[in-house]
Structure 1
Amino acid sequence: MSVHSPTSERPHSPPRSAVGVLPDQRTAVDKALVLLKSLADQDGEIGVSELARRSGLTKSTTFRLLGILQRNDMVERVGSDYRLGARLFDIGDRVYGPVSAQLRERLLPHLADLYVLTQETVHLAVLRDTDIVYVNKIHGHRATRCPSRIGARLPAYCTAVGKALLAFDHDAAEAAVLAGLPRLTEYTITDPATFRAELGHIRRTGIAYDRQEAAHGLTCVAVPIMGPAGRPVAAFSVAGADHRFDKARFAPALRRVAYEATRAVAALARAQQATALI
């Protein structure tokens, strides 16, 4: 008679990785991109532990991937924290081609003029499909919660810069309406007829407003910057906290700066045409 050990009759236990939490199926590239997105959502620097928590990664994996990204200038280390690296900004300049980069460079002095005149947060944005992309921003002295960041996209229909651009671009405006006008706040214009009437008013006055339509407590006023073909190429806006923001007060400054910016855009177009003929 053979003698069996008591443990020999026990069923085989599954490996620890098969019990409870499933293994992470994401590739290293997926995980690195998640880290970059988490850094992009952060104003300023952030530590490894918090990055790991937000990304759903282990701390050791987070630290290893950050090292790789740092060696490639995609992130920068500040003490024990991290932020996006300069190389990403160089890549971002190429996302929409040299036109946006040239516009940003040419219009920066005018954006600075607008800031000096208002002392509020000011933006430069362009239209991409039915979204707006912020290509430059100068922060005002009085902090205001604002979803805008350089390189960020927001729906055009609920922002002042977006409405300023859609008002003079019929095809883009109709595409925005057909895509739907989801409610971001209780002030968002979601009715197509009301939205089209709003754009008509903007065409008549040249001024667009965001009355807490994109974010609670935030009010903006914007003007388009027209190109040589009579179509807008970008828009300026001034943003501030709704409880203290006098929208009408900034309209003259916006019109004045937009006029000078339009002249600068025309000069840029003439220079580009001259270069093409050489």
Structure 2
Amino acid sequence: MAGRLSTPGTTVTSRALALLGAFDEDHRRLTLTELAARAGLPVPTAHRLVGELVAWGALARDPRGRFAIGRRLWDLGLLAPVQTGLRQLASPYLHDLYGATLDTVHLAVRDGLEVLYLDRLAGNTSVPVVSDIGSRLPMHSTGVGKVLLAHAPPEVQADVLSDLRRITPYTVVQPGTLRRQLARVLRDDYATTVEEMSLGACSVAVPIRAGSDVVAALGIVVPGLRNDRAKYVAALQVAAQGVGRALAAARRDPS
């Protein structure tokens, strides 16, 4: 819902928190004017505080001049039980998957218009991998990203499709082609990439579900997919189902 979100307090802290609280699932990127309106602050006041929040890393400014939650809050968020819990619950299954394949394994979630990597086990093969724990990468050029994008709200898909950056000669930058790929992800329940993020690296990824909701993606980076795609998909799906069961059990018994 657009417009004023709340009435901030009179302290600098309360006003800064009002700006951070202006973001939600439906408002992940905001202009300064939108931020001020949703936080209930005059634009000059918002401008000053936003500048301080950007300098500290709590907010980040994109090339279009819009603001989003920054990396510093992600670093703090790793200390929160919710993300730590997901990583801990998924860890045994990531290690099982790594042990079965010896390839690089990823656990990722969607953060706005990007993929946020929560965990990574590095494989033994010399496949170029550009992700790391805590890093963000484009959704349209990564396996876990395509899974998360396929299950993202329509407005998120529209934003991503409006700005498809070419990273390698094989990156899909045609909106129609990507839409067809996302439809296949929903149909087949897995996604693949072939040298779209880095040359010499392919990926396969599947969704992790908590009930009917896709909450994360599990992926693997390999040299090629020509002969072993079905094997990788099956291994990933077994691991993802295990994580999903662990999440369901944790919700039933939060203690």
Query: How does the TM-score come out when normalised to structure 1?
Result: 0.61
**Correspondence 1:80-99 to 2 at 5 A:** 92=75, 94=77, 97-99=80-82
SS in structure 1 at match of 2:140:
helix
- Residue equivalent to 1:177: 161
Corresponding letter in the other structure for 2:161:
V
Amino acid aligned to 1:248: A
2:213 alignment partner in structure 1: 231
CA RMSD of aligned residues (A): 2.8
Deviation readout 1:154-188 (Å, 9 max, x if unpaired): 0111100011111112333222113x111111111
Question: Which protein has the bigger helix share?
Answer: 1
Q: How far apart, in 2, do the equivalents of 1:210 and 1:165 lie? A: 14
Superposition pairs of residues 59-70 of structure 1, within 5 angstroms: none
The 5 A counterparts of 1:126-165 are 126-165=109-148
Q: How many residue pairs were aligned?
A: 187
Alignment check: 8 A CA contact 2:108 2:217 kept: yes
> CA contact under 8 A between 1:132 and 1:162: conserved in structure 2?
yes
Percent of pairs with identical residues: 34
- How many angstroms apart in 1 are the aligned matches of 2:79 and 2:203? 25
Please state whether the residue corresponding to 2:253 is helix, strand or coil. Answer: helix
Distance 1:160 1:243 in 2: 12
Q: CA deviation at 1:247?
A: 3.0
Paired position in structure 1 for 2:247:
265
Unmatched tracts of structure 1, length 5 or more = 1-32, 34-88
Describe the shift of the 1:158–1:245 C-alpha distance in structure 2 as closer, same or farther (beyond 3 A): farther
Unaligned 5+ residue runs, structure 2? 1-55, 57-71
Distance 2:89 2:227 in 1: 28
> CA separation in 1, counterparts of 2:76 and 2:203?
26
Structure 2: distance between partners of 1:243 and 1:237:
13
Residue of structure 1 equivalent to 2:87: 104
**Closer, same or farther in 2 for the Cα pair 1:133/1:188, shift >3 Å?**
same
Q: How far apart are the structure 1 equivalents of 2:225 and 2:237?
A: 24
The structure 1 segments of at least 4 consecutive aligned residues displaced by more than 6 Å after TM superposition are none
1:92-145 deviation digits (Å, cap 9, x = unpaired): 252584322110111101111111121111111111001011111111122321
